[in-house]
């Protein structure tokens, strides 16, 4: 995929050593096979055209068959070797439940549950939004399903998606559900992490009660897969093995999954999406600076592995018959905190994969989902930059994927840099090897990498408090070697970088030899949240992002031989971005006063692109 190098000094002022992949001349037009035409001028009658050839979105067909991916609950639960009991706890009303509950002797009782909330001591706690019970869905009016005007430019590829390509949209619980202290949910890290004036996750989009309407809106657009997360603290409010299950939560997600199937869609379930039960952090300093990642997600906790595996098995037992794709932990690097956290994630993931396939004989897929804005060397001809880039990508991806995909040891860079890092034993590697059915990647954008000032080696001997570039020890930038931005910039860290996506997919497939799912990708249009509603809805830059990325995925599949088996757009609606509503990643606008949703243009464009290429999966 390297272009022919014609060395030429293209302009005065450009230093010879700065010229890397240069060539002169204009963009080639391989599509133009005829000689250029000559104009022939003439007069003709004129009439106004309104172009009212209205097209509507095509909703998903009703299901005709139901596929099964695992044993039903009765069979599965026998394989668990644990006694499961269920109960209900009700809802947290600040100052009330804690007083009225009298079962103080029961360590998993109402009083104990309430005291978790009291101990969380959250600021400005809001119990409910507009809804306190599931809203009955109504069909989406056809007037909302009229396609928007097309953008002038667009992809011109001629490929169709492979038959079984899994296309869908994604979201995560804490970013959309609200109903934080209702129906038995226990507090999670995400309520605690924002304690200043910024928006909290207490109410958000009220999807906990509006899920049917939200799913109905996806089906009306023709989307096949819905990727969502289940909050651990709803299912197991006391988190640990042996503690009772929350009957209301189990029913809720059972109903959600059934509703997804009823409208003709398929569910993709993530078990942990940053919302660690606060239990694992109750004595920890959640503001402490991590050795690696952004936050202290409690994955290092001595009880984490057994507890997470127990929770994961419970989800499998209840839902594996109906779920084709499972993700254990979302973007684990970001909340791993230190080497212990990483090591725990690797072990917990492998145990769940083994349980699913070796014990339950599940026929769906279980995988992970990693973050890493693809590191690309500042100068690909400079070995120092290439080495720094390999280190950057290995520390973010290889740390999980060397053992899980390849059965290989943690990267040298991890072992040599992270405090307390220890190699896996041969027996551990044997057990962990190939414990994933897909490589989920959230390749939002690319990052230009070069070594840290003073060099990688010196930096790697320091620590987070003495060097802000620790532990990767690289400089990250978003301009290329000539000073141009790497692509059109969004409201935050995302730049439109479709061609880097293609080289990223090439890198992943050929390095980790595992089928790839683009498990999240999306674009927060600059300043979108400050615009009037009609202008928010006409989101051409997001369309450009999605269509160019999907187009590059097609080229990756057909021209590079890369096995990409699915893509889930982030997000199906604007949501709570960890303390903010400003960087909007959604395919729909949400009015959080009325809880009304509005489709954006990019949603129509993306689904139309997929449908035109046989990519919707039906
Ligand atoms: C109307 O649609 C036709 C056919 O697609 C196109 O050629 C023409 O440019 C459109 N006119 C306007 C004003 O958009
Ligand atoms: C709590 O709510 C009050 C009133 O709405 C607001 O002024 C204050 O900034 C909020 N404090 C925090 C920390 O969110
Ligand atoms: C928690 O960690 C932060 C950041 O490292 C530090 O500033 C703070 O003093 C710590 N708090 C406690 C109570 O240790
Ligand atoms: C899984 O397959 C094994 C061997 O074929 C069998 O012993 C076991 O009962 C099966 N488990 C379930 C849950 O069907
Ligand atoms: C390669 O990159 C490094 C670090 O960015 C720089 O110090 C070095 O001079 C470069 N080497 C060449 C041959 O350009
Ligand atoms: C990770 O952090 C936890 C909590 O602070 C600590 O107990 C553990 O020892 C740390 N692990 C390493 C390898 O530093
Ligand atoms: C970081 O390194 C400095 C200088 O070597 C040392 O004084 C400090 O104790 C280290 N901090 C941590 C958290 O290891
Ligand atoms: C959101 O909904 C409220 C209540 O219906 C309405 O007053 C407000 O104008 C809406 N906001 C926007 C930006 O449309």
Domain annotation covers residue 43: no
Q: What is the mean pLDDT of residues 294-309?
A: 98
CATH number at residue 607: 3.20.20.80
57 lines ligand 4 (CB under 6 A): no
**Among 282, 283, 284, 285, which is best to mutate for testing ligand 3, by the most ligand atoms less than 8 A from CB?**
285
Domain annotation covers residue 122: yes
pLDDT, tens only, 496-515: 999 999 999 999 999 999 99
Per-residue pLDDT band at 276 (split at 50, 70, 90): very high
Residue nearest to atom 11 of ligand 5 (CA): 382
Domain annotation covers residue 566: yes
pLDDT, tens only, 210-252: 999 999 999 999 999 999 999 999 999 999 999 999 999 999 9
Q: How far is the CA of 286 from the centre of ligand 3 (A)?
A: 8
Res. 9: pLDDT tops 80: no
pLDDT for the residue 519: 98
The number of the ligand 8 atom at minimal distance from the alpha carbon of 532 is: 13
Domain annotation covers residue 24: yes
Per-position DSSP letters for 263-329, written without gaps between them: TT-EEEEEEESS--BGGGGTTS-TTSPPSBSSS--STTSTTHHHHHHHHHHHHHHHHTTT-SEEEEE
Residue nearest to atom 8 of ligand 2 (CA): 197
Res. 453: pLDDT tops 50: yes
Q: How far is the CA of 155 from the centre of ligand 8 (A)?
A: 36
Q: In this predicted model, which residue has the larger pLDDT, 6 or 113?
A: 113
Domain annotation covers residue 585: no
Question: Max alpha carbon distance in the chain (Å)?
Answer: 93
pLDDT for the residue 51: 65
Res. 60: pLDDT tops 60: yes
Q: Cβ neighbours of residue 166 under 8 Å, at least 6 residues apart?
A: 224, 225, 266, 268, 324, 325, 517, 565, 566, 567, 568, 617
Poorest-pLDDT segment among 9-18, 80-89, 494-503: 9-18
Full-model pTM: 0.93
Cβ neighbours of 438 (radius 10 Å) = 24
Q: Is 65 exposed, middle or buried (0-12, 13-18, 19+ CB in 10 A)?
A: exposed
Residue nearest to atom 1 of ligand 1 (CA): 51
pLDDT for the residue 159: 96
pLDDT, tens only, 175-205: 999 999 999 999 999 999 998 889 999 999 9
pLDDT for the residue 54: 86
Res. 25: pLDDT tops 90: no
pLDDT, tens only, 359-379: 999 999 999 999 989 999 999
Domain annotation covers residue 50: no
CA pair distance 583, 268, nearest whole angstrom: 25
75 lines ligand 4 (CB under 6 A): yes
* Helices and strands counted in the chain (H then E): 20, 15
Res. 478: pLDDT tops 60: yes
Q: Which residues line ligand 1 (CB under 6 A)?
A: 49, 51
CA pair distance 161, 262, nearest whole angstrom: 25
Question: What range does the domain containing 506 cover?
Answer: 2-31+59-579+594-612
Res. 348: pLDDT tops 50: yes
Name the domain count of the chain: 1
Pairing of strands 365-371, 266-272: unpaired
Per-position DSSP letters for 265-283, written without gaps between them: -EEEEEEESS--BGGGGTT
Res. 11: pLDDT tops 50: no
Q: Which residues line ligand 3 (CB under 6 A)?
A: 285, 287-289
Percent of the chain with pLDDT over 70: 95
Q: What is the mean pLDDT of residues 97-108?
A: 84
Q: How far is the CA of 367 from the centre of ligand 3 (A)?
A: 35
71 lines ligand 4 (CB under 6 A): yes
| pLDDT averaged over every residue in the chain | 93
Per-residue pLDDT band at 172 (split at 50, 70, 90): very high
CA pair distance 557, 565, nearest whole angstrom: 9
Q: What is the mean pLDDT of residues 136-158?
A: 92
pLDDT for the residue 64: 87
Q: What is the mean pLDDT of residues 32-43?
A: 88
Per-residue pLDDT band at 99 (split at 50, 70, 90): low
CA pair distance 99, 149, nearest whole angstrom: 58
Res. 8: pLDDT tops 70: no
Residue nearest to atom 12 of ligand 5 (CA): 382
pLDDT for the residue 21: 61
pLDDT, tens only, 585-612: 999 999 999 999 999 999 999 999 999 9
Res. 1: pLDDT tops 50: no
**Among 361, 362, 363, 364, which is best to mutate for testing ligand 4, by the most ligand atoms less than 8 A from CB?**
361
pLDDT for the residue 281: 97
Res. 443: pLDDT tops 70: yes
Residue nearest to atom 14 of ligand 3 (CA): 285
Domain annotation covers residue 586: no
| Residue 370 near residue 331, CB atoms below 8 Å | yes
Q: 16-30, 127-141, 191-205, 238-252 — which one is most confidently predicted on average?
A: 238-252
Ligand nearest to the CA of 286: 3
pLDDT for the residue 83: 84
Domain annotation covers residue 102: yes
Q: What is the mean pLDDT of residues 287-298?
A: 96
pLDDT for the residue 58: 95
């Amino acid at each position: 995929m390297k272009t022919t190098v014609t060395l030429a000094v293209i302009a005065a002022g450009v230093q010879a050593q700065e010229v890397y992949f240069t060539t002169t001349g204009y963009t080639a037009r391989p599509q133009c096979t005829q000689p250029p035409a000559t104009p022939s001028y003439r007069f003709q009658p004129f009439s106004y055209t309104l172009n009212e050839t209205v097209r509507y979105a095509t909703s998903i067909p009703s299901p005709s068959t139901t596929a099964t991916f695992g044993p039903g609950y009765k069979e599965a639960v026998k394989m668990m070797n644990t006694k499961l009991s269920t109960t209900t706890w009700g809802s947290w009303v600040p100052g009330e439940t804690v007083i009225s509950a009298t079962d103080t002797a029961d360590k998993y009782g109402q009083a104990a549950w309430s005291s978790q909330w009291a101990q969380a001591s959250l600021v400005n706690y809001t119990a409910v939004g507009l809804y306190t019970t599931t809203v009955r869905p109504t069909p989406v009016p056809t007037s909302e399903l009229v396609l928007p005007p097309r953008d002038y430019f667009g992809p011109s590829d001629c490929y169709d998606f492979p038959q079984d390509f899994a296309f869908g949209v994604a979201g995560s619980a804490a970013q959309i559900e609200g109903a934080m202290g209702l129906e038995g949910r226990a507090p999670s890290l995400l309520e605690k992490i924002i304690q200043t004036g910024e928006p909290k996750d207490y109410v958000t989009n009220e999807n906990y009660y509006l899920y049917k309407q939200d799913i109905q809106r996806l089906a009306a657009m023709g989307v096949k897969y819905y990727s969502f997360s289940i909050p651990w603290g709803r299912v197991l409010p006391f988190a640990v093995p042996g503690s009772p299950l929350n009957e209301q939560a189990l029913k809720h997600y059972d109903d959600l999954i059934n509703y997804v199937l009823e409208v003709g869609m398929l569910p993709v379930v993530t078990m942990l999406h940053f919302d660690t039960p606060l239990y694992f952090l109750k004595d920890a300093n959640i503001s402490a600076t991590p050795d690696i990642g952004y936050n202290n997600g409690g994955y290092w906790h001595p009880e984490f592995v057994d507890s997470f595996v127990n929770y994961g098995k419970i989800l499998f037992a209840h839902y594996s018959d109906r779920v084709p794709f499972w993700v254990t932990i979302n973007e684990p690097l970001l909340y791993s905190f230190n080497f212990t956290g990483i090591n725990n994630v690797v072990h917990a993931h492998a145990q769940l994969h083994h349980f699913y396939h070796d014990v339950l004989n599940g026929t769906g897929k279980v995988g992970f989902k990693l973050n890493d804005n693809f590191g690309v060397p500042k100068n690909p001809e400079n070995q120092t930059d290439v080495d720094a880039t390999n280190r950057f990508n290995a520390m973010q991806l290889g740390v999980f994927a060397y053992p899980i995909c390849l059965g290989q040891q943690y990267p040298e860079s991890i072992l040599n840099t992270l405090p307390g890092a220890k190699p896996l034993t041969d027996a551990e590697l044997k057990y962990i090897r190939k414990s994933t059915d897909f490589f989920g990647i959230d390749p939002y954008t690319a990052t230009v990498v070069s070594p840290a000032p003073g060099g990688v080696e010196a930096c790697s001997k320091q620590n987070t408090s003495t060097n802000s570039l620790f532990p990767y020890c690289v400089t990250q930038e978003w301009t290329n070697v000539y000073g141009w931005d790497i692509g059109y910039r969004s409201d935050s860290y995302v730049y439109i970088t479709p061609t880097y996506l293609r080289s990223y997919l090439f890198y992943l497939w050929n390095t980790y030899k595992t089928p790839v799912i683009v498990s999240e990708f999306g674009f927060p249009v600059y300043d979108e949240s400050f615009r009037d509603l009609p202008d928010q809805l006409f989101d051409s830059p997001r369309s450009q992002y999605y269509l160019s990325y999907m187009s590059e995925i097609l080229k990756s599949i057909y021209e590079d031989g890369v096995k990409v088996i699915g893509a889930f757009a982030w997000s199906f609606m604007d949501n709570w971005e960890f303390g903010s509503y400003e960087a909007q990643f959604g395919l729909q606008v949400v009015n959080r006063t009325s809880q009304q949703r509005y489709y954006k243009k990019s949603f129509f464009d993306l689904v139309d692109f997929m449908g035109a290429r046989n990519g919707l999966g039906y």
